[in-house]
């Protein structure tokens, strides 16, 4: 069985997803059930541990969403563990050099193409094979979030085996001196993401972006970004709760 998310990008299709910071497989399942192409477990800034992450991966797959895991850094053992647990791909943050992107790809592939240790506990069951070539077909996604990353974006994008570059909007805005915005309408940010997209298009890989809502994500998708995060579980919970509380209080106030 082929990797569905990687196949979407090979067909130049847009993947829409939800970013999960909470350590709750039911919350992830609820997100996946809404038609997400991918749902991501964040082990860098989220509160899940590795065992919880594998449970969340299973919950996403139950509804046909492709589970991704962002690891804290390019750690071979951690990457292998989440892929053995059935994740469709791995996202590595703060990539600034092609050498780190190459390490990411190596960690996702088996010899002779990489250094991943063989032990596909869940992955072999999900993919229906023990073949290392098939099991190694996973999404290797490097995040560019700094000025240094932009300076090296062409080399990063042309890393053999890299699936996509994902733009961390907030950290990139901070690195550019704009402040924490997602995404920013500042020309420095606009020019930076255009530079990243141009490099990805030239290299033939997908480019993605962290967005605050579906409207913004849709605009970037129309512009050719093929991995767009439409929301996070925390923001959906917060905004939904606030909307309903405000509506209730407005009704009480209006009746007074």
Chunked mean pLDDT (size 10), the chain, 256 residues: 93 97 94 96 97 95 96 97 97 98 98 95 92 95 98 98 97 96 92 98 97 95 97 95 96 82
Count CA atoms within 13 Å of residue 202 on its CB side. 13
Domain coverage including residue 41: 4-255
27: Cβ–Cβ under 8 A, 6 or more apart, which residues? 20, 233
Query: pTM for the complete prediction?
Result: 0.95
pLDDT attached to residue 253: 87
CATH number where 191 lies: 3.20.20.60
Question: Is residue 6 a contact partner of residue 137, using CB atoms and an 8 Å limit?
Answer: yes
What are the residue numbers of the active site? 45
pLDDT attached to residue 256: 65
Q: What is the DSSP string of 115-166?
A: -PPS--TTHHHHHT---HHHHT--EEEEEE-SHHHHHTHHHHHTSTT--EEE
Number of structural domains the chain divides into:
1
């Amino acid at each position: 069985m082929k990797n569905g998310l990687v196949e979407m990008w090979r067909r130049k299709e847009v993947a829409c997803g939800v970013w999960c910071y909470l350590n709750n497989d039911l919350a992830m399942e609820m997100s996946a059930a809404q038609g997400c192409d991918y749902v991501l477990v964040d082990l860098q800034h989220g509160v899940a541990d590795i065992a919880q992450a594998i449970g969340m991966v299973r919950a996403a797959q139950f509804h046909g969403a492709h589970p991704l895991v962002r690891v804290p850094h390019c750690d071979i053992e951690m990457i292998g563990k989440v892929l053995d647990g059935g994740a469709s791909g791995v996202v590595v943050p703060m990539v600034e050099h092609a050498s780190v992107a190459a390490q990411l790809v190596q960690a996702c592939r088996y010899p002779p193409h990489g250094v991943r240790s063989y032990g596909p506990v869940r992955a072999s069951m999900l993919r229906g094979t023990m073949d290392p070539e098939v099991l190694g077909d996973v999404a290797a996604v490097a995040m560019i979030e700094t000025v240094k990353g932009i300076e090296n974006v062409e080399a990063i994008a042309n890393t053999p085996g890299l699936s996509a570059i994902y733009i961390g909007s907030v950290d990139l805005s901070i690195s550019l001196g704009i402040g924490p915005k997602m995404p920013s309408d500042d020309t420095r940010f606009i020019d930076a993401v255009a530079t990243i997209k141009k490099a990805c298009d030239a290299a033939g890989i997908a480019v993605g972006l962290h967005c605050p809502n579906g409207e913004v994500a849709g605009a970037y998708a129309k512009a050719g970004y093929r991995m767009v995060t439409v929301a996070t579980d925390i923001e959906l919970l917060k905004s939904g709760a606030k909307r309903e509380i405000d509506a209730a209080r407005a009704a009480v106030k209006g009746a007074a």
